[in-house]
Amino acid sequence: MILIVFVVSLLFGQNPLEILGLLGGQTGAVEESAPGPPPDDESGEFVSVVLADMEDIWQQIFTSSGERYEPATLVLFSSAVQSACGFNTDATGPFYCPPDQKVYVDLSFMGELQRLGASGDFALAYVMAHEVGHHVQNLVGTSESVRLRQSRSGSAESNRLSVALELQADCFAGVWAHHSQKRGTISYDADDFQEGLRTASAIGDDHLQRQAGRRVQPESFTHGSSEDRKNWLRRGLDTGDPEACDTFK
């Protein structure tokens, strides 16, 4: 299963973020919103280490394109949190807020993933990478462009654009995993890969509608079907190329 620098930090009693720093990685800031998980919470340490890896990889990708990457801030919260996007409860799940450029993670979401049929470290890492993908979209202007197009579109086209934005974030999550595996900071095997695909399938709009006992309504999708989410995650994993993530065609 997934092998992370976090494990090494436990064995040697070191802060995992310090180990990543020694490896040359740039780490995003981490905040805790009271009451939040305790500072020594292992899940909190895990998401901090994974975020640091994501930030370092995206910085390298941006630099190779002659652009500057601004790290996101990770906010761990419990029950509810106030963000620049408003007041959110744990029912929202992990989310990214463009105005404050922060990724908000309620660690109890792991329980929700298990309920939906997805579990494990890579499942949580994929969800986080998806939110960091939204941060990338915000930095390059894609998010704003989509909002402007939606303001001039009908509901059907607006939904299509929303789905395309989410699927691109899935593809970007795969891009991160591709490069992370090559760097060796995070290595995964076939089981981890399947874990990520199961997670993508579990949070597809059609699956969620069935889980809720509703008829599947593609016209109401906001994130994409299970099959589409798996396919775009796989494309990012296979190519490692953000340019291959054009979901708007």
Task: Give the whole-angstrom CA distance, residue 153 versus residue 46.
Answer: 41
Query: Using alpha carbons only, what angle is made at residue 58 by residues 173 and 175, rounded to the nearest 5 degrees?
Result: 30
Residues facing residue 88 across a β-bridge: 81
**234 C-beta neighbours (distance < 10 Å), count:** 17
Cβ(175)–Cβ(242) under 8 Å? yes
Q: How many domains is the chain built from?
A: 1
- 62 inside domain: yes
Assess if residue 150 is contained within a domain: yes
Question: Going residue by residue through the chain (249 aa), what tens digit of pLDDT does each one get?
Answer: 333 333 333 333 333 334 334 333 444 565 555 444 444 466 667 778 888 999 999 999 999 999 999 999 989 888 888 899 999 887 777 899 999 999 998 877 767 766 766 666 777 888 889 999 999 999 999 999 999 999 999 988 998 999 999 999 999 999 999 998 888 766 665 566 666 556 655 555 555 556 566 665 665 556 667 788 888 999 999 999 999 999 998
For residue 114, the enclosing domain spans 3-244
Q: Is residue 249 part of a domain?
A: no
d(CA 170, CA 99): 21
Give residue-wise pLDDT tens across range 190-245: 566 666 556 655 555 555 556 566 665 665 556 667 788 888 999 999 999 999 99
> What would the two tokens of residue 156 be?
């059907």
Find the length of the chain.
Answer: 249
